[in-house]
Structure 1
Amino acid sequence: MNWQSVKFDWNRARAFLVTAEEGSLSAAAKALGVSQPTLGRQVAALEEELSTALFERGGRGLELTRNGLELLAYVRAMGEAASSLSLAATGQANSIEGEIAISASEITAAYILPPILQRLRYQYPGIRINLVASNEASDLRRRAADIAIRNFRPTEPDLIARKVGEFSATLYARPEILADLPSPLTDGLCKAPFIGFLSNNERYVGALAQRGLKLREEQFVARTDSHLVHWQMARAGIGIGMMPVELGNAEAEVERVFEDKVFGGDVWLVSHRELRMNLRVRTVFDFLAAELTEYFEPQK
C-alpha cells in the first residue's frame, strides 16, 4: 500500500504511534493523558480510513500487522518532524540562519534595538539583519519588512500583532534654557524656544496645547522630520525637544521640563500572517517580543 498518498488526521496518527511504541491501549492512553476508549476510537478510525488492520491481538498484547509496521516508519518520521518544529519555533534550535528585515522608528532603531540585536546575533549567529530605520510605517503586505515595531495596532486582517509594552514621551531641554524661565514652568514655556517638525507639526502643537502650552509659530526656532536630529538639536541647546522618557531621563546633558507626558501609547510587534509560518521569522519575532517586553516593563 502506498502510505505516502494517504492523508489522515495527525491525532489519529499519534494515537497509532504511541500505541505501537507502548504495546497496549491502556499504556498509550496513560502516556497521552486520554481515556482508553477515546484512544481506541482514534486507532479504529485510522484503520477504517486506511481500510486495513494495523494491530492484531497476540499473547503479549497488541502486535503490529505488516501494514502497521510499514505505516509506523512514516508516522514515526512525522512525529520526529513535529518535535523538531516545536523546538525550533520556541527558540531552542540553533540552526536558524538567513536574512531578516526589521522596521522600526529612528529612535527605536538607534537607541533600543542595537543591544537586543546583538543578543539575537549571539544566540543565532547565522541571522543577517536588515534594519529599516524610518518614522513611516513599512508596508508589511508588500514585504517592505518581515517584522515591524509600531506605536499603533494594525487593523489589516492579514497582519498579526503582539503588544510588547507602552511608551511615554515628554519635553527636555538644556539647563541654561530652563534657567531663565519663570515658575510655574508651564507658563514660562510659552515664551521658550522649541524644536518642531517639518511635517504634521500641527499634531505636536495640539498635544502641547492639551498640556497647557499654547505656542506661537515664531517659537519654533528649528524644525526637522528626523527624530534623531530633533533630539541632537535639543541636546545642543537650540530649543526644547521631545524624547521617550526612558532615554531622556538617562541623558545627563538635559533636564526633564515637567512630569506630564506629551505623547504615549502602546508598542506593537507586527508581522504578516504568512511570514509567521517561516521558521526564521517566527523565531526572531518571538525573540524580539520577549526582549522588548522586558525593556518596556519597568517604564513609568
Structure 2
Amino acid sequence: MDWRAVTFDWNRVRAFLVTAEEGSLSAAARALGLAQPTLGRQVEALERELGVALFERTGRGLLLTPAGHDLLGHARAMGDGAGALALSAAGQTDALDGEVAVSVSDIDAVCLLPPILERLHATHPGIRVEIVVDNLLSDLRRQEADIAIRNVRPTEGDLVATRLRDAAARFYAASTLLERLGRPEVPAGFAGAPCVEIDRTGAARALLAARGFPVEAMRFPWRTSHFVTGWELVRRGMAIGVVDDRIGDAEPGVERILPALDPVPFPVWLTAHRDMRRSRRLRAVWDSLAEGLS
C-alpha cells in the first residue's frame, strides 16, 4: 500500500469510533473532552470524506447504519494501532520526568492515594501524576489512563496485571447512629435502620440479606454511585454503608456494625498496558502504587 495516498484525519475517525461506542454525541464529547458541536462536525466531515452515512439520527440517539457497522471494525483497528504506536513511543524513553495518568475510584483517590503520591513525589519529583477519578473501568488501550487500580481482573490480552491483595469491605455506621438504633447486637435488630445503596443493581441489599439483615424492614433513602458521597452519609450518621475496612477502620467516629459479621471480599488489581515495562517512569509509578496498596 502507498501510505502517502492515505489522507484520513485520525481525529475524525476517533470521533466516529467513540460516538459509536458511547451511543450519543453528548456522551462521546464528554469522553473525549470536546464540545458536542465540534465532535458533530468531525463525524459529519468523515461522512462527507467517505461518501456514506455512518449514523441514523433518531429521537433516542444515534444508530449505526449498515455502512457504519461495516467500518466500525476498521476504526477500532485504527484506534488500537494508534494507541499501540503512542504506547510504544512512550516506552522508548528512559527519562523519569514526565506525566503518568492513574485511574482510580473516587474513594480510593481521596482516602488511599494521597500518602502514596506524597512518597512518590519525594523520591521522583519530576513525575507528574494525573489522577483520573473513574468508578468505571478506564480503557488503557485508548490511553484514558496509563495505570489503573481495579477490583476486577482485566481480560484484554495486551494488558498486564498484578493482584496486590485480597481486600475486605465491611458495614459501618457512625457511633451516633448506632446509639439512636440502640446498638443492636443481631442483624434483626437493624429493622428500620437507614442504609445507602451503592448503585442501581441492588448490590448493597443483596450483601445485607446474605448476612441475615431484615432488608425488607430496613430503609434505603439514599442511592449513589459516587462512593465518597455515600461514605459522607455514613460519617454524618445518616446511613449504614459498606466500605474497604482500611478506610472504615481509620475513620474516627465510625464503627463496624456487628464486627463478627463476615466481610465482603474483593481483589485489588494493578493494571497497565504490557509496554509499561519499557518505561522507567511508568515502572516507578507502578512500583510505588504496588508497595502502597499491597
1:26-105 → structure 2 map (5 Å cutoff): 96-105=96-105
Q: Provide the rounded CA distance (Å) in 1 between the counterparts of 2:140 and 2:258.
A: 37
Q: CA deviation at 1:154?
A: 1.2
Q: Provide the rounded CA distance (Å) in 1 between the counterparts of 2:256 and 2:274.
A: 41
Amino acid at match of 2:269: W
- Runs of 5+ consecutive residues of structure 2 not aligned to the other structure: 1-90
Q: Provide the rounded CA distance (Å) in 1 between the counterparts of 2:283 and 2:188.
A: 50
Residue deviations 1:74-121, cap 9 Å, x none?
xxxxxxxxxxxxxxx9xxx9x511000001111111111111111111
Q: CA deviation at 1:147?
A: 0.3
Amino acid at match of 2:190: L
Q: CA deviation at 1:282?
A: 2.0
Residue deviations 1:121-147, cap 9 Å, x none?
111111011001121111111111000
Q: Provide the rounded CA distance (Å) in 2 between the counterparts of 1:145 and 1:194.
A: 33
- Contact map agreement 1:161 1:270 (CA 8 A) in 2: yes
Q: Provide the rounded CA distance (Å) in 2 between the counterparts of 1:120 and 1:233.
A: 31
Q: CA deviation at 1:162?
A: 0.8
1:126-141 → structure 2 map (5 Å cutoff): 126-141=126-141
- Contact map agreement 2:188 2:214 (CA 8 A) in 1: no
Residue deviations 1:209-266, cap 9 Å, x none?
1111241387102121110010111111111112211221122212210222452121
Identity of aligned residues (%): 38
Change (3 A) 1:129 1:261: farther
User: TM-score of the superposition, structure 2-length normalised?
Assistant: 0.63
Q: Provide the rounded CA distance (Å) in 1 between the counterparts of 2:123 and 2:293.
A: 16
Change (3 A) 1:137 1:106: same
- Contact map agreement 1:207 1:262 (CA 8 A) in 2: no
Residue deviations 1:166-197, cap 9 Å, x none?
21111111223223346433111232111113
- Runs of 5+ consecutive residues of structure 1 not aligned to the other structure: 1-88, 294-300
Aligned to 1:284: 285
Change (3 A) 1:262 1:217: farther
Aligned to 1:222: 222
Q: Provide the rounded CA distance (Å) in 1 between the counterparts of 2:199 and 2:286.
A: 33
Q: Provide the rounded CA distance (Å) in 2 between the counterparts of 1:218 and 1:265.
A: 25
Aligned to 1:153: 153
- Contact map agreement 1:159 1:272 (CA 8 A) in 2: yes
1:100-115 → structure 2 map (5 Å cutoff): 100-115=100-115
Aligned to 1:269: 270
Aligned to 1:174: 174
Q: How many pairs does the alignment contain?
A: 200
Amino acid at match of 1:276: R
- Contact map agreement 1:181 1:192 (CA 8 A) in 2: no
Q: Provide the rounded CA distance (Å) in 2 between the counterparts of 1:171 and 1:196.
A: 12
Q: Provide the rounded CA distance (Å) in 2 between the counterparts of 1:261 and 1:104.
A: 26
- Contact map agreement 1:172 1:255 (CA 8 A) in 2: yes
RMSD (Å) for aligned C-alpha atoms: 2.1
Q: CA deviation at 1:165?
A: 1.4
Change (3 A) 1:150 1:183: same
Q: CA deviation at 1:205?
A: 1.2
Change (3 A) 1:245 1:218: closer
Q: Provide the rounded CA distance (Å) in 1 between the counterparts of 2:171 and 2:218.
A: 18
User: TM-score of the superposition, structure 1-length normalised?
Assistant: 0.62
Q: CA deviation at 1:280?
A: 1.5
